[in-house]
């Protein structure tokens, strides 16, 4: 086989190998949308679901949630806005320095669309019926704070070159989870609000990532080496995110089965915080599952 034929064969094989990614992203968007609808149907429209969510919020309060000092509260309150500003700076630098104008444009569209979707769902589409459960009556599903933080992370992940996406996706999933969990600790949101917001961002990102992948398939970039190869190792970060997601799923089911008071952070015997920790673990599972899926679909394996 001649060198030209070999190159053509490798190019065709690479093209076939990446053709499934847009389809997988579209399928992931469908799964994400169905997940949001299921969560709304269970956690908002049923007594059992509202009760589970209310328990998580009540136990966060029993652990001292909502009594944070002024400085900490201010930091948490400004974290989503700060993340959007930081993401805008990073996306702008990547677009300008790396001439990645198309991915940067779709990154901006992702952030805007995700936040608009959350506000539309919360204030127009979804309503919270009064089912007799002792919980704040206002509808806070999905969480706007979590959406801001997660959409900022998603925008950065889409904007950076594929060789840096494993690192960006892993760190972005961690940032989104921590931001979401902090809203529960500070009694701003129920655990389901956080998980739903993460799914909203994941669903929107899956759709907007499709034109980004198509663009990058037509304008491939060098794989890179040095720091990029070490810090953004695809296999390492995919293993880490998948392991955390799996452990979080297990924890979400195991925590409620533990002896009463075993997870108390207050030091008082008999304080039940199992529902809170189960909700936090469930949010972690969603965050890292979305992160893992994005990592696999938006980055290229090294050849």
CB atoms within 10 A of CB 102: 17
Residue whose tokens read 């899926």: 293
Output the CA angle 131-55-178, nearest 5 degrees. 120
Cα atoms in the 13 Å half-sphere on the side-chain side of 87: 31
Cβ distance 224 to 161 under 8 Å? yes
pLDDT score recorded for residue 254: 92
pLDDT score recorded for residue 71: 54
pLDDT tens track, the chain, 303 positions: 444 444 444 444 454 556 788 999 999 999 999 999 999 999 999 999 999 999 888 888 777 665 555 555 666 667 777 888 889 898 999 888 888 899 999 999 999 999 999 999 999 999 999 998 888 778 899 999 999 999 999 999 999 998 899 999 999 999 999 999 988 888 888 999 999 999 999 999 999 999 999 998 887 776 656 666 667 788 999 999 999 999 999 999 998 888 876 666 554 556 788 889 999 999 999 999 999 999 989 887 554
Non-local (6+) Cβ contacts of 254 within 8 A are: none
pLDDT score recorded for residue 118: 97
Distance CA 179, CA 75 (A): 11
pLDDT score recorded for residue 8: 45
The answer to whether the peptide bond before residue 252 is cis (omega within 30 degrees of 0) is no
pLDDT score recorded for residue 68: 54
* Per-residue CA distances from 153 to 91, 109, 235 (Å): 10, 13, 20
- Give the E-state strand segments of 143-209 in sequence order: none
DSSP, res 189: S
SS3 state at 99: coil
pLDDT score recorded for residue 302: 52
* Per-residue CA distances from 269 to 63, 263, 266 (Å): 12, 10, 8
Single pTM value for the model: 0.88
pLDDT score recorded for residue 264: 65
pLDDT score recorded for residue 84: 85
pLDDT score recorded for residue 64: 63
Q: Which of 297, 282, 238 is nearest to 35 (CA)?
A: 282
pLDDT score recorded for residue 67: 56
pLDDT score recorded for residue 7: 42
- Give the E-state strand segments of the chain in sequence order: none
Cα atoms in the 13 Å half-sphere on the side-chain side of 273: 21
Cβ distance 184 to 194 under 8 Å? yes
């Amino acid at each position: 086989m001649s060198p030209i034929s070999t190159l053509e064969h490798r190019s065709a094989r690479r093209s076939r190998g990446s053709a499934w990614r847009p389809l997988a992203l579209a399928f992931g968007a469908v799964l994400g949308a169905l997940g949001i609808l299921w969560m709304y149907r269970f956690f908002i429209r049923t007594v059992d679901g509202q009760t589970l969510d209310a328990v998580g919020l009540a136990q966060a309060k029993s652990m001292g949630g909502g009594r944070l000092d002024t400085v900490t509260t201010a930091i948490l309150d400004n974290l989503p806005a700060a993340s959007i500003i930081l993401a805008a700076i990073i996306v702008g630098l990547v677009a300008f320095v790396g001439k990645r104008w198309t991915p940067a444009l779709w990154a901006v569209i992702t952030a805007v669309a995700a936040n608009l979707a959350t506000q539309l769902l919360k204030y127009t589409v979804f309503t919270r019926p009064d089912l007799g459960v002792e919980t704040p009556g206002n509808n806070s599903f999905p969480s706007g704070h979590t959406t801001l933080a997660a959409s900022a992370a998603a925008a950065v992940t889409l904007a950076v070159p594929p060789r840096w996406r494993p690192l960006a996706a892993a760190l972005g999933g961690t940032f989104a989870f921590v931001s979401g969990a902090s809203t529960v600790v500070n009694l701003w949101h129920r655990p389901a609000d956080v998980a739903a917001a993460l799914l909203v961002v994941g669903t929107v990102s899956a759709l907007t990532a499709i034109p980004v992948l198509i663009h990058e398939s037509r304008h491939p970039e060098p794989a890179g080496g040095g720091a990029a190869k070490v810090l953004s190792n695809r296999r390492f970060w995919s293993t880490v995110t998948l392991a955390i997601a799996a452990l979080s799923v297990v924890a979400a089911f195991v925590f409620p089965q533990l002896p009463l008071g075993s997870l108390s952070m207050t030091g008082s015997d008999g304080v039940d915080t199992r529902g809170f920790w189960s909700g936090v673990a469930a949010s972690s599972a969603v965050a890292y599952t979305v992160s893992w899926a994005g990592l696999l679909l938006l980055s290229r394996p090294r050849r």
